[in-house]
Amino acid sequence: MSYRRHIRSAEDLVTTYEETRKGFLRQALEKNRRATPFVEEAKALRASASRARQPDDLYQISEIIPALTTAAGLSDKAVGHLQQDDLQEAMSNFIESFLKPAGDSFVDELVYRFLITRGDSLGGRMRNLAGLLAEQALIRAIIATLSIRGIQFSWVNGNTGSWIPGDPNDADIEVYARGLYWHAMDKERILLLNKRVPVVGKNVDLCLLDGNPHLVNQKPSPLHHQIDKYIALGELKGGIDPAGADEHWKTANSALERIRSAFFAEGYSPKTLFIGAAIENSMSLEIFGQLESGRLANAANSTKENQLYSICAWLVDL
């Protein structure tokens, strides 16, 4: 009953107002940080477009043509599927319908329209922001847990797939890492994030396996294809909005049940866990009930540092 280290009652799991407030502020800060490149692009666009005396002159400023197509409402993906004549038509319609009616303020109108389209692109990324921040917080917490124990680790770069010796003082590991490896007490452990588990048939947020980096991509049977190597699997929900808390738990609970059923059908019973940011009263009772019954091996509210670090210590000890 390792969860008893940090959870004594269902109430311990509930996210407080102060924790919700901090979560929203953290996400807002990250959104603004990620919006900075778009704002700088808009400033550069304004500087170049200001050379035009009238909207039709914009065609003569070759370096802003990509930005002009963006302002016309075409995403990067759309541009890749259109021919040059189509792009020209879109820009012409945009200039006639929006820039010319703006009169002397046509450059301002161009910049505003550019930011609207770029904002849509940013919005798509932001929908995944809560999950990314939750993964990063978990990775950093595990690294800290390993570091204070003097345990060496490696991490896998999500862009290159290469395993890199870990440095706990590297402040950016969690941004790029898609997994960790450590070796302690004669046990080798691999933690993989958002990995497709063949026996389940879907991606699972957290997978703890018995093995080392050499086995991760070995052929013909990669580590995550070996059902007997799974030690624990879990769902991670980073959304902080209380209004979506119950829905996040329902989704996670269904996924966890699917995991248990799939492994049980093959004669295996790895541990399951849940880590969430927004946990309301009703769902806390259900989570705690599953902990007490043994259905869940562990759980934590990621907004509570003692719970996050406690469940990380549990993972390292498995």
First to last CA, the chain: 13
- Residue in this structure with the two tokens 């046509």, named with its chain if needed: 106
Q: What secondary structure letter does DSSP report for 7?
A: -
Question: How confident is the model over 38-67, as a mean pLDDT?
Answer: 92
Question: How confident is the model over 194-204, as a mean pLDDT?
Answer: 95
Would you state the pLDDT for residue 270? 97
Give the count of alpha carbons within 13 A of 195, CB side only: 26
Question: How confident is the model over 184-197, as a mean pLDDT?
Answer: 94
pLDDT at 128 over 90: no
pLDDT at 189 over 90: yes
DSSP string for residues in 106-130: HHHHHHHHHHHHHHHHHHHHHTTHH
The CB density around residue 300, as the number of other CB atoms within 10 Å, is 29
Would you state the pLDDT for residue 125? 63
The C-alpha angle with vertex 205 and arms to 202 and 208, in degrees rounded to 5, equals 105
CA distance 247 to 257: 15
pLDDT at 115 over 70: yes
Spell out the domains of the chain, with CATH numbers in brackets: 2-30+128-317 (3.40.91.10), 50-125 (1.10.238.90)
Q: Which pTM value belongs to this model?
A: 0.84
